[in-house]
Amino acid sequence: MSKPIVAVVGRPNVGKSTFFNKVLGKRVSIVEDTPGVTRDRIYGEAEWRGIPFIMIDTGGIEPDSDDIILSQMRDQAEIAMETADVILFLVDGKDGLTSSDREVASMLMRKGRDVILVVNKVDTSVLPDDYYDFYELGLGEPIAISAANMLGLGDLLDIVVDKFPKDVEGIEEDDRVKIAVIGKPNVGKSSLINALIGENRLIVSNIAGTTRDSIDTPFLWQGEEYVLIDTAGIRRKSKVTGDIERYSVIRAISAIERSDVCLLMLDATEGVTEQDKKIAGMAHEEGKGIIVVVNKWDLIEKETNTMERFRKDIREELPFMSYAPSVFISVLKKQRLDKVMEMAKYVSEKRAMRVPTGQLNSLIIDATMMKQPPSDKGKRLKIYYVTQVGVKPPLFSFQINDRELMHFSYSRYLENKIREGFGFEGTSIKFVFREKGENDNA
């Protein structure tokens, strides 16, 4: 079965993101004193008493606001509440009970979910005078905590996991393919995801930087479940100002780390920019599957071989990931969107592919006969044995006589030969070199 889901909701600036980050043990949500900073749903994996669960941080709910962004934030919180097994309703112990709290409580009671009322910012063992006003909300006994000072979190999490369905034991690892959509701001990342899943699950705006957080969206494609990860657009460091932008970059990098396949979105009207190269380098260094998705292709005047010339430019600008296939799309015109998912499935399969040891060694023997290994001071590199020891990304262990003799150029030559023989399109492959007597755990 799937992991239980806990949604953290409440009006803006009551400490939801601080609480979320403390439970996960790392900074995932943006924490800022400005109300409305966390605008989309943010998913993170947590564990308490050996029970894993998914926690969702949401934007603050302003029940009566007509502001477009705030209205969409309210919709995002509604979606989180609909999918949650347990809802944590955070209120501010310093502000006391507000009319907005009452309206949010009324929304929650209509959902018919388990709701735990949490009074945050209670920094001492002495409860504030107006603490008992929160009983008026009709959500049972309020639980006092201080997320910032980590007071009362353990007792609260005990209550949370006790409310989970009783059959959560034996949860299997999530083996769904996770696809991160990465790129500069305003290249169409959220719009692509919305087009793929067929519903507006993400806030879409023509203002660069609307998506400040990484959001996971599970969806089915051709009978298989995938997870799409939308990320904040990654700006150049010189353009990153203030904590909000800085943590957007950190979160986008984190999304790359936990993905299987990255869709690097480019703007066809701009070509490959320096920032695109840096973003591509992040995904490459992490060993992810990579597909270059060129958006806004409908805006390009076509001549003979226009697409092939663009592909050549990509290979020249991104020579370190010449293995990455490219797809040319128009999200606006809904052109070739299925090709994106077909390629993502294909690349994820290549990233998980294993090569038979016998065939691998035969290929390496042929490669060394075609091009002799390097030597230094009369000593020549010898490759005794090669085996694939890992996947995602594919990892190959070479038993050799001397690690110092394995020059980078020869390593690249062997990589090219393995790709020629077995494919691995769309994924980086990694080598580890062991001298005789070392093992793969050394």
SS3 content of the chain, % helix, strand, coil (to 5): 35, 25, 40
**Per-residue pLDDT tens over the stretch 168-198:** 444 445 688 999 999 888 888 888 988 988 8
Angstrom CA distances, 350 to 1, 124, 259, 367, stand at 27, 55, 15, 22
* Domain C-terminal end among 162, 188, 218: 162
Q: Are residues 184 and 301 in the same domain?
A: yes
pLDDT 10s digits, 94-136: 999 988 888 888 877 876 667 899 999 998 888 887 898 999 9
What number is the average pLDDT over the span 79-83?
A: 60
Same domain, 327 and 271: yes
Q: Across-strand partners of 63?
A: none
Q: What is the mean pLDDT of residues 328-349?
A: 94
**Looking at the structure, do residues 18 and 154 belong to the same domain, yes or no?**
yes
Q: Does residue 403 fall inside a structural domain?
A: yes
pLDDT digits (tens, 9 = 90+) for 8-60: 888 888 888 889 888 888 655 444 444 433 344 466 778 899 888 878 777 66
pLDDT recorded at residue 58: 73
Q: What is d(CA 133, CA 154) in angstroms, rounded to the nearest whole number?
A: 24
- For residue 169, tell me if it sits in a domain: no
What percent of the chain has a predicted confidence (pLDDT) above 90?
Answer: 46
Tokens of 118: 């949490």
Decide: helix, strand or coil at residue 98: coil
CATH (domain of 39): 3.40.50.300
CA 77/CA 378 separation, integer angstroms:
69
Confidence of residue 200 (pLDDT cuts 50, 70, 90): low
Q: Are 297 and 330 in contact (CB under 8 A)?
A: yes
Q: Which domain holds residue 154?
A: 5-162
Name 105's Cβ contacts closer than 8 Å, sequence gap at least 6.
89, 137, 138, 139
* Neighbouring residues of 383: CB distance < 8 A, sequence distance ≥ 6: 364, 368, 373, 398, 399, 400
How far, in Å, are 121, 122, 123, 215, 341 from residue 134 at the CA level?
14, 13, 17, 32, 48
CA distance 348 to 290: 9
CA quadruple 79, 262, 24, 224: dihedral, nearest 10? 50
State how far the Cα of 225 lies from the Cα of 222, in Å rounded to an integer. 8
Question: CA dihedral defined by 280, 283, 285, 286, rounded to 10 degrees?
Answer: 180
The tokens 């998912």 sit on which residue? 341
Evaluate whether residue 325 is within a structural domain.
Answer: yes
pLDDT reading at 243 higher than 70: no
CA atoms within a 13 Å half-sphere pointing along the CA-CB vector of 25: 5
Residue 124 lies in a domain: yes
Percent of the chain residues past pLDDT 70, beyond the cut: 77
Closest CA to 320 of 363, 272, 390, 364: 272
420 and 280 co-located in one domain: no
| Pair (56, 89) in one structural domain | yes
Give domain status of residue 442, yes or no.
no
| Residue 308 forms part of a structural domain | yes
| Cα end-to-end distance, the chain, whole Å | 37
- Residue 171 in any domain: the answer is no
123 and 11 housed in the same domain: yes
Final residue before a domain boundary, out of 327, 351, 375? 351
Looking at the structure of the chain, the number of domains it has is 3
Q: Do 201 and 149 share a domain, yes or no?
A: no
Residue with tokens 């190959």: 396
- Give the residues across from 71 on adjacent strands: none
**91 contacts 121 by C-beta, under 8 angstroms:** no
User: Do residue 153 and residue 189 come from a single domain?
Assistant: no
Least confident of 16-30, 287-301, 311-325: 16-30
The reply to whether 229 falls in a domain is yes
319's CB contacts (< 8 A; 6+ apart) are none
How far is the CA of 216 from the CAs of 41, 117, 147, 226, 228, in angstroms?
A: 8, 26, 24, 10, 6
Which residue would you say has higher pLDDT here, 346 or 125? 346
pLDDT value of position 325: 96
**End residue of a domain, out of 288, 321, 351:** 351
Q: Is 81 a residue whose pLDDT tops 80?
A: no
pLDDT for position 33: 45
Phi, psi at 379, each rounded to 5°: -105, 125
Q: Within this chain, do residues 325 and 183 fall inside the same structural domain, yes or no?
A: yes
Q: Residue 70: pLDDT above 50?
A: no
Going by C-alpha positions, the residue among 309, 215, 318 that lies closest to residue 275 is 318
Same domain, 94 and 144: yes
Please check whether residues 321 and 404 belong to one and the same domain. no
Span 393-416, average pLDDT? 94
Which is higher by pLDDT, 176 or 249?
Answer: 176
124 and 217, same domain (yes or no): no
Does residue 359 surpass a pLDDT of 70?
A: yes
Mean pLDDT of all residues belonging to the chain:
81
Cut 0.75: pTM above it: no
| Nearest of 388, 380, 335, 341 to residue 363 by alpha carbon | 388
pLDDT of residue 55: 82
What's the pLDDT band for 396 if we cut at 50, 70, 90? very high
pLDDT over 80 (residue 251): no
Mean pLDDT of 253-279: 87
176 CB neighbour count, 10 Å cutoff = 15
